A and B are shown apart, each in its own frame.
Chain A
Amino acid sequence: MVFSARLSVDNSASMEERLVGTLRVAVDVGGTFTDICVMDESDGTVRVAKVPSTPDPIDGVIEGVGHAGVDFKDVALFSHGTTVATNALITRKLPRSAMVTTRGFRDVIEIGRGTKDDLWDAYKDVAPPYIRRRDRLEVSERVDYSGNVLKELDEGDVRRAAAILRKREVEAIAVCFVNSYANPDHEIRAKEILEEELPGLAISASSQILPEIFEHERFSTTVANAVLSPLVSGYVERLGARLTAEGYGGDALLLHSGGGVMTPKLASKYAVRLAASGIAAGAIAARHVAVTCGFENAIGLDMGGTSTDISLVWQGRERVTRDWFVEYGYPIRFPSIEVLTIGAGGGSLAWTDPAGALRNGPQSAGADPGPACYGRGNTEPTNTDANVVLGRLGEELIGGAMSLDRRLAEEAVERLGERVDLERVEAARAILRVANANMADAVRLISIRRGYDPRDFALVVFGGAGALHGAALAEELAIPTVIVPPNPGITSALGCLLVDIRHDFAIMHLADAGTANAQAVEEEFQRLDIEARERLESEGVPPEQITLERLIDMRYVGQWRSLSVSVDNPLDLEAAVDLFHNEHEREYNYRRDDAGVEIYQLNVRAIGIAPKPEFKRHAISGDEPVPEAMRSVHFDEADEAVQTPVYERGELPAGATIVGPAIIDQLDATTVVPPGWSAEVDEWLNLRMSKTEVAR
C-alpha cells in the first residue's frame, strides 16, 4: 500500500539535529497488528505496512519497518505509539513495588472513594490496588492544607522503611504524603533518603508526578507511575538500543496519553503518561483528517475486530479528559485524550437475552475463531456475518487473501433469527441495527452528554469495519457528513506521524477571581511558562517551534469540579471570568453572574511543534467512475435487495461522485453508500459521504 504525500517545505528544516536521514517513521503497536507509516521527506511519498504484533513488541516494530522497505540509517525521526503500559496495567504483570506514605493513610488507595462501578451487581469482585497493603509503609510526618508543617518528617522512619523494602527486593516505590501538593518538602526529602538507601530504584514522589489536591487520585496516579516505571524505562531503553543497533541516529519519540510525544528520558520518569499511548493515535488521526477536510468538529470512530474507539474533536482539538483509568477505582489523573472504547466490532457476537431481546456484544468471536463466515468453528453470528448476509460485505477480504463463507454466515444468522422470529435478512438487519444503536449510544455519551450536538460534527470512520457502518450511524445520529480516509486500516499509525511534543504543567492557585491580583496570577503563569520552555528545550525543541497555551480552571465558590477555559497571554482576567460564565451555561444549563467565581488551577500546555506531512492535493478529474461489478445488497432504506454497483477505491479519481446505493471496496476496508446517500472523492482522496435526500 503506497500513497503519496508532500511535506511542506517550510517545516522540513525543523529539528535539524535529528534530520540525519530523510524518512519519518511512525509505528503504532496494537494488540493484533503493528502498523507502520513512513514518510519520505525527499520525495514526499508515504508508505504504509501492517504486520502481526509479536510477543516482544519490539520485534514487530523492527520487522514491520523492514517490511515497509526502510533502512534505519535513513530514518530522521521515529515516533511510536504503544500499548505496552496499558497491557501491563490490564494484565497486572507488574514488578513488586512499594508505597511510603503518611502515618494513618496507607489505606487511602484501597478504600478509594468508597464506590463501585456497577450499582446493582452485588456479585462482582473489586480489583485490589496495584501495591499490596503489606508493601505500603507509613512514616511520621504531616503538613496541613496550606503547607504548614504540623509534624516534622521522621527521617529514621524513612530509613527503617528503606531497610524493609531492601529486604523485600522491591523494584519501585511511590512516595505519597497527605497535602504534599501544598508543600512537597517532606516528600522530596523522603525520596532523597530512599534514593540514598536504595540506589537504582525507580522512585516516584506524588508532588512531582501530579502536584494536585485529592489524595486518592494523586496517590493512585503516582502508584501507577511507580509500578510502570521499571517496565517502561526497560522498554524504551531496549527499543532505543535496538533502533541504534539498526542504525537509527536519534531518540525514539513516544506518544503519550495526552496526544503529544515525549522523549525516552521523560517517559522513564513519567511512565504513567504512556498508559493510553496506543489508544490516542487514532484520535489524533481523526482530528487530522477532519481538520484537513475543513471540519473543526468531528467524531472519530475507529471500529476494528473486537472493539470500537470513539473520540471527539471540538474546535480543531481532541477532547482531553482527566478522568481516565484502566481499572475502576484506580484513576490516572493525567490529561488523556478521551477515547471511549466499547465492545462493538466486526467480530462482536449477536445473542438473545432471557426475555427474548436481541443484544450485540461485548463478547466477541475475536480473530480466531472469528465470525462464522471464517469457517473456523464459530457458529454464532457476528456483525461481519450480518454484513455478508446483506451483501454489504463481499466474499473476499484483503484483495482475495481471505475468503468468507457466505453459507456459514447465513446459517448462523438464520439460527438467531428463529429465536427472535425474524427471517434471515431481517435478522441480519436487526443485528446491525442493534450494533449501530450501541455505537450511537457511545457517541452520545461523549457528545450529547457533554452538551455537544452531533449534528454539528463530521463523522470520521476508519479501522477495518468503520466504513461499513458509517452512514447508518450518521443516519441514527443525524450527522450530516461521513469521512472515510484513504487507508482506513492504518489510519491510527498515521496519527503517530502527526504529533507534536506536548507537556502539561499545572499549579494550584486558589483565589477569588473577582478580587484576585491579576498580576500575581500572571506571574504564576510566567513561572509555568519558564518551566515549560526549559523542558521542551531540554528535549531539543528549537525556541521558534515552541507554543505555550494557557488555561485557567475556575468554578463557582462551593463547587469543587472546575471548568477549564482558555485565556490569553498576557492574562485578561475579566475576559476569562466572562468566558467561564458562558462555558458554564453551555455545559450545565445555568449561570450565576451574581455568584463568586474562584480560580482553582493554572495550566500551561507546552507544545513543541513538529513538522507535519502535508498531503498532496490531487487534481480534480472529470472521469466518470466505472463499477468493477454489480452485487445484490440489502439496505435499511429499501425492503428488497438492490442491484448495487461495486467500485474499487483505488480506481476512483479525485472529484469522482458516486450516488448510492453503492459499495466501495479497497484492500483494508469496505465502504457502504446507502440509497439516498452519495460519496465524493476529495482532493486528498478522502471519501466524503452525505445525504442527498432529506426524507426517506
Chain B
Amino acid sequence: MANFDPVLLSVIANRLDSIVREMENTLLRSGRSAVLNMARDFSCAIITGDNRLIASAEGLPVHVIGMEYLAEAMTDLHDDLAPGDAFLHNDPYLGNTHAADHTILVPVFVEGKHLFTAAAKAHQADCGNARPTTYMPYARDVYEEGALIFPAVRVHRDYEEVRDIIRMCQRRIRVPDQWYGDFLAQVGAARIGEARLTELSEKYGADTIERFIEEWFDYSERRMIHVIEHLPAGTIVGEGRHDPFGPVPDGIPITVKITVDPEDAMVELDLTDNIDCLAAGVNESRTCAMNNVMTGLFNSIDPDIPHNAGTFRRVRVKLRENSVVGVPRFPHSCSVATTNVGERLVVTTQRTFADAWEGYGLAEGACGIGPGFAVVSGEDRRRDGSPYVNQKFLGSQGGPAGPDIDGWLTYGNAVTNGLMFRDSVEIDEQKYPIRIDEMRIREDSEGAGYRRGAPGTRVTYGPKWDTMTAAYVTDNHHFPPQGTRGGGDGAPSIAFKVLVDGSEVSLEPIAQVDLAPGELLGQLLSGGGYGDPLEREPELVRDDVLSRFVSFERARDVYGVVFEAEVLTDVLTVVAKLTAARRDELQVGEGAQ
C-alpha cells in the first residue's frame, strides 16, 4: 500500500463522510418545505477540485452519483472562482438530474487552491414549471416544461447574496418564501461543508490531503476490482419497459447490456441500443441515465464498497447522444428523469443481474410516482385561501425480493434506496387541507417466489373542503414489477378515485386530476419475487397467510401449500404430504404450459 499511512487513510475518509452527514443533518433539520424536512428528498456530497466524487455518505443514489458533473460545469463556466462563492445549478443539460433538483455548489479553497467543492442538492417543492408540479411527463420540450433553469450561476460572491438571482426565483417559483427558506438551508449546509473541509485541510496540510485523495481513490478501486474479480464472466442483455402513455402508446422499451469481465475487473453497462429522445418529459438526463444503471449494479454487489470516483473507474457506462436513456438532445425535456424511466433503469439492471447470475441481483421493485407520491396543490381555507403545493410521500412501493430475503415493505423507491421518509399522516393532515383515509398492506399483491416481493400498499386520501389538484405519473400498471429466476411478478399498480358514495373508479395511470371534497385518490403497489414460489418454505407461507399478506387461494394455487383447514386461527397447520403432492401437480402444470 504505497507509502500513505493506512490509518490516516481511513481517518480522513471517515472524516469526509461525517462532514457530508453533518451537511445533511443541517438540511434535514433546517429545511422549510416538507419535501426536504419531512421526506428528506436531498443529498450532499464532496467533490475534489478536479471534479471527482469523493464522499457522499447517505446521499440518495440518484442524486449523488454524477454530482461531479455539476462541479465540472462550475469550473468550466467560471474562471474566476474565489472563496465566498456559491453557485446555483439545476441544468439537466450540464450535469444535473432534473430541473426540480436545485444544487448549491461551494468551491473550497485551501492555501489558495480549489481543493474541494461542497455540494447540497435538494428537490424543490416547486421549480416554476408550467403547472404546479415538479414532474411534467407531457412536456414536449423544455419550453413547455417551463422550469427556471440555472446553469451554475453565481448566487454568492464574498459570502454575500447575489440578489438578482434570488429575486428571479422569488418571482417565478410558486411558494417564494418556502423556496427561500430551503435555499438558505442548502447554502447553510454547503457552508458547513466548506468550514469543516477547511479545518480538515488545515489540520493535515493541503499536500497530505491531495495525496490522500489519490490514495483513497486507488483503495476504492482495489475494493471494486476485488468484487468484480469474483463475479462470473459474461454478457447479458436485459430488457424492461415503462408503461405506455400519450406519446408512447407501446410504452418505453429499455435495453441494458451488461458485460462482466472479471479478468480485466471491469463492468460495462451499455445503454446505446435504445430509442431516441421523446417529445415528452420522461427523457433521462445524462447524469440520471448513468447513475440509475450504476445503482442497479451497486444493488447487486457487496454493499460495503465506497461509492466514489475510484470505484467508478471500474464501471464503464456507455451512453448515446439523443437517446431516451442517454445524453438528451436539447430541447428535449428531462422533467421526470429521476423517477419512472430512471427507476426502470435501476430495476431492469438489478433484475438482469439476477436473471443471469444466481445469487446476485434482485427482482424488480415497484416504480413510478403514482397517486401516493403525487404533487398536490390547491388553496387552504384555514390560511385565508393561501395556495399550497407539495409532493406527498404516502405510499410505500413494494420492495424486490433478493436471493436470501423477502422484499422490504419499507422499500421507498428504486432511486432512493430507502433513504426517503414517507409522510406522517398526522402532519399531512395538519399542514394541508387533506384527509388520509387508509394506508394498509394490499393482500395478494406480492410477487410470489422462494423469496417473495413485498406486498404493496393501498393508500387513499383527498381534500377536506376545496378542490385539490393532484399530478402523478404511475408506472407498473401495464408492466408490473418482474420477478426473477422463477419468481412471480408483483400485482399491477392501479390509480383510482373513490367517489363520495364510496364507489371506486379507475383513473388514467399518468394524469393531473381534480378531486372534489369527499373524493379520495388512491394507489395500489407491489414488488417482484425471487425464485420458484413452490420452493418457499411452507411455514413462511403460513406466516404470510396468518398476516393476510397472502390468501388461502393464493397459498394453494401459487405456493402449493395445503392446510388442514382453511380457517385463520393460530393452530393453522400445513399438511406436508398434501403440500408435496400439490406442488408436484403445479410443477407438472407449469411444465405443460
A positions within 8 Å CB-CB of B: 103-108, 110-116, 118-126, 132-134, 144-145, 150, 168, 178-179, 181, 213-216, 329, 353-359, 420-421, 430, 433-434, 437, 440-441, 444-445, 448-449, 476, 510, 556-561, 584, 587-590, 592, 595
Task: Find out whether the CB atom of B427 lies under 8 angstroms from the CB atom of A560.
Answer: yes
Given A112-B410, A112-B422, A449-B21, 5 further pairs, Cβ under 8 A: A114-B422, A115-B421, A122-B299, A134-B568, A179-B429
User: Taking each of B396, B435, B457, which has the highest tally of chain A beta carbons within 10 Å of its own beta carbon?
Assistant: B396
Q: Does B219 contact A (CB under 8 A)?
A: yes
Collect the chain B residues with CB atoms within 8 Å of residue A449's CB: 18, 21-22, 25
Collect the chain A residues with CB atoms within 8 Å of residue B187's CB: 590
Contact of B18 among A116, A353, A444 (CB under 8 A): A444
Task: Find out whether the CB atom of A121 lies under 8 angstroms from the CB atom of B410.
Answer: no
User: Taking each of A108, A168, A357, A558, which has the highest tally of chain B beta carbons within 10 Å of its own beta carbon?
Assistant: A558
- Given A120-B307, A215-B425, CB of A590 within 8 Å of CB of B185: yes
Task: Find out whether the CB atom of A120 lies under 8 angstroms from the CB atom of B425.
Answer: no
Q: Does B352 contact A (CB under 8 A)?
A: no
Task: Find out whether the CB atom of A588 lies under 8 angstroms from the CB atom of B30.
Answer: yes
Task: Find out whether the CB atom of A119 lies under 8 angstroms from the CB atom of B58.
Answer: yes
Task: Find out whether the CB atom of B6 lies under 8 angstroms from the CB atom of A358.
Answer: yes
Task: Find out whether the CB atom of A123 lies under 8 angstroms from the CB atom of B426.
Answer: no
Q: A35 to B558, alpha carbons, bound, how many Å?
A: 56
B positions within 8 Å CB-CB of A: 1, 6-7, 9-11, 14-15, 18, 21-22, 25-26, 28-34, 37-38, 58, 61, 177-178, 181, 184-185, 187-189, 191-192, 196, 219, 222-223, 226-227, 298-300, 303-304, 307, 350, 362, 393, 396, 400, 402-406, 408-412, 417-422, 424-427, 429-430, 435, 437-441, 457, 546-549, 568, 570
- Report B485 CB to chain A, min CB distance, Å: 15
Q: A357 to B14, alpha carbons, bound, how many Å?
A: 13
Task: Find out whether the CB atom of B412 lies under 8 angstroms from the CB atom of A114.
Answer: yes
- Report B543 CB to chain A, min CB distance, Å: 9
Task: Find out whether the CB atom of B29 lies under 8 angstroms from the CB atom of A587.
Answer: yes
Collect the chain A residues with CB atoms within 8 Å of residue B437's CB: 104
Contact of B223 among A122, A354, A510 (CB under 8 A): A354
Task: Find out whether the CB atom of B26 lies under 8 angstroms from the CB atom of A589.
Answer: yes
- Report B222 CB to chain A, min CB distance, Å: 4
Q: Smallest CB-CB separation from A111: which chain B residue?
A: B396
Please, could you name 21 A-B residue pairs with CB atoms under 8 Å apart, sorted by A? A107-B439, A107-B457, A114-B421, A115-B419, A119-B418, A120-B417, A125-B405, A133-B548, A134-B568, A168-B570, A355-B222, A355-B223, A358-B6, A434-B10, A441-B18, A449-B25, A558-B178, A584-B30, A587-B30, A589-B192, A590-B30
User: Taking each of A107, A355, A561, which has the highest tally of chain B beta carbons within 10 Å of its own beta carbon?
Assistant: A355
Collect the chain A residues with CB atoms within 8 Å of residue B31's CB: 559
Task: Find out whether the CB atom of A114 lies under 8 angstroms from the CB atom of B426.
Answer: no
- Report A659 CB to chain B, min CB distance, Å: 27
Task: Find out whether the CB atom of B429 lies under 8 angstroms from the CB atom of A144.
Answer: yes
Task: Find out whether the CB atom of B426 lies under 8 angstroms from the CB atom of A179.
Answer: yes
- Given A105-B438, A559-B37, CB of A215 within 8 Å of CB of B546: no
- Given A168-B570, A355-B219, CB of A329 within 8 Å of CB of B29: no
Q: A287 to B37, alpha carbons, bound, how many Å?
A: 33
- Given A116-B408, A356-B222, A437-B14, CB of A111 within 8 Å of CB of B430: no
Task: Find out whether the CB atom of B410 lies under 8 angstroms from the CB atom of A357.
Answer: no
Task: Find out whether the CB atom of B402 lies under 8 angstroms from the CB atom of A123.
Answer: yes
Collect the chain A residues with CB atoms within 8 Å of residue B11's CB: 437, 440, 476
- Given A115-B420, A123-B404, A560-B38, CB of A590 within 8 Å of CB of B188: yes
Task: Find out whether the CB atom of B547 lies under 8 angstroms from the CB atom of A133.
Answer: yes
Q: A242 to B127, alpha carbons, bound, how many Å?
A: 67
Task: Find out whether the CB atom of A213 lies under 8 angstroms from the CB atom of B426.
Answer: yes
Task: Find out whether the CB atom of A145 lies under 8 angstroms from the CB atom of B426.
Answer: yes
User: Taking each of B33, B181, B298, B420, which has the highest tally of chain A beta carbons within 10 Å of its own beta carbon?
Assistant: B181
- Given A133-B548, A437-B14, CB of A216 within 8 Å of CB of B25: no
Q: Smallest CB-CB separation from A440: which chain B residue?
A: B11
Contact of A556 among B6, B18, B32 (CB under 8 A): B32
Collect the chain A residues with CB atoms within 8 Å of residue B350's CB: 122
Contact of B440 among A107, A119, A440, A558 (CB under 8 A): A107
Q: Smallest CB-CB separation from B226: which chain A residue?
A: A354
- Given A115-B421, A134-B547, A145-B429, CB of A104 within 8 Å of CB of B1: no
User: Taking each of B6, B14, B25, which has the highest tally of chain A beta carbons within 10 Å of its own beta carbon?
Assistant: B6
Task: Find out whether the CB atom of B419 lies under 8 angstroms from the CB atom of A119.
Answer: yes
Task: Find out whether the CB atom of B223 lies under 8 angstroms from the CB atom of A437.
Answer: no
Collect the chain B residues with CB atoms within 8 Å of residue A444's CB: 15, 18
- Given A115-B421, A145-B430, CB of A560 within 8 Å of CB of B181: no
Collect the chain B residues with CB atoms within 8 Å of residue A584's CB: 30
Task: Find out whether the CB atom of A121 lies under 8 angstroms from the CB atom of B303.
Answer: yes
- Given A125-B405, A588-B29, CB of A181 within 8 Å of CB of B426: yes
Collect the chain B residues with CB atoms within 8 Å of residue A119's CB: 58, 61, 417-419
Q: Smallest CB-CB separation from B182: which chain A residue?
A: A558
- Given A112-B410, A354-B223, A560-B34, CB of A104 within 8 Å of CB of B438: yes
Q: A558 to B429, alpha carbons, bound, how many Å?
A: 14
Contact of B14 among A120, A178, A441 (CB under 8 A): A441
Contact of A433 among B7, B303, B457 (CB under 8 A): B7
Contact of B300 among A106, A122, A216, A556 (CB under 8 A): A122
- Given A118-B303, A122-B362, A595-B181, CB of A561 within 8 Å of CB of B226: no
Task: Find out whether the CB atom of B426 lies under 8 angstroms from the CB atom of A104.
Answer: no
- Report A638 CB to chain B, min CB distance, Å: 17
Q: A106 to B441, alpha carbons, bound, how many Å?
A: 9
Collect the chain A residues with CB atoms within 8 Å of residue B185's CB: 588, 590
Task: Find out whether the CB atom of B6 lies under 8 angstroms from the CB atom of A357.
Answer: yes
Task: Find out whether the CB atom of B427 lies under 8 angstroms from the CB atom of A214.
Answer: yes
Task: Find out whether the CB atom of A329 lies under 8 angstroms from the CB atom of B303.
Answer: no
Q: Smallest CB-CB separation from B60: which chain A residue?
A: A119
Contact of B409 among A126, A178, A357, A448 (CB under 8 A): A126
- Report B149 CB to chain A, min CB distance, Å: 25
Collect the chain A residues with CB atoms within 8 Å of residue B61's CB: 119
Q: A319 to B568, alpha carbons, bound, how many Å?
A: 48
User: Taking each of A107, A115, A134, which has the highest tally of chain B beta carbons within 10 Å of its own beta carbon?
Assistant: A115
Collect the chain B residues with CB atoms within 8 Å of residue A433's CB: 7
Contact of A588 among B14, B26, B300, B418 (CB under 8 A): B26
Task: Find out whether the CB atom of B6 lies under 8 angstroms from the CB atom of A420.
Answer: yes
Task: Find out whether the CB atom of A111 lies under 8 angstroms from the CB atom of B441.
Answer: yes
For the complex of A and B, list the 5 residue pairs with the smallest distance between their C-beta atoms, beginning with the closest.
A104-B438, A116-B418, A114-B422, A121-B303, A558-B32
Task: Find out whether the CB atom of B298 lies under 8 angstroms from the CB atom of A134.
Answer: no
Task: Find out whether the CB atom of A113 lies under 8 angstroms from the CB atom of B421.
Answer: yes
Collect the chain A residues with CB atoms within 8 Å of residue B181's CB: 556, 558-559, 592, 595
Q: A31 to B448, alpha carbons, bound, how many Å?
A: 42
Task: Find out whether the CB atom of B29 lies under 8 angstroms from the CB atom of A561.
Answer: yes
Collect the chain B residues with CB atoms within 8 Å of residue A124's CB: 303, 405
Collect the chain A residues with CB atoms within 8 Å of residue B7's CB: 358, 430, 433-434, 437
Task: Find out whether the CB atom of B426 lies under 8 angstroms from the CB atom of A111.
Answer: no
Collect the chain A residues with CB atoms within 8 Å of residue B227's CB: 354
- Report B457 CB to chain A, min CB distance, Å: 6
Contact of A114 among B30, B196, B396, B404 (CB under 8 A): B396
Q: A144 to B382, alpha carbons, bound, how many Å?
A: 14
Q: A588 to B187, alpha carbons, bound, how many Å?
A: 10
Collect the chain B residues with CB atoms within 8 Å of residue A476's CB: 11
Task: Find out whether the CB atom of B307 lies under 8 angstroms from the CB atom of A589.
Answer: no
- Report B516 CB to chain A, min CB distance, Å: 18
Q: Smallest CB-CB separation from B196: which chain A residue?
A: A448
- Given A111-B441, A124-B405, CB of A560 within 8 Å of CB of B37: yes
Q: Smallest CB-CB separation from A169: which chain B residue?
A: B570
Q: Smallest CB-CB separation from A123: which chain B residue?
A: B402
- Report A106 CB to chain B, min CB distance, Å: 7
Collect the chain A residues with CB atoms within 8 Å of residue B21's CB: 445, 449
Task: Find out whether the CB atom of A430 lies under 8 angstroms from the CB atom of B6.
Answer: yes
Q: A420 to B191, alpha carbons, bound, how many Å?
A: 38
Task: Find out whether the CB atom of A120 lies under 8 angstroms from the CB atom of B440.
Answer: no
Task: Find out whether the CB atom of B441 lies under 8 angstroms from the CB atom of A133.
Answer: yes
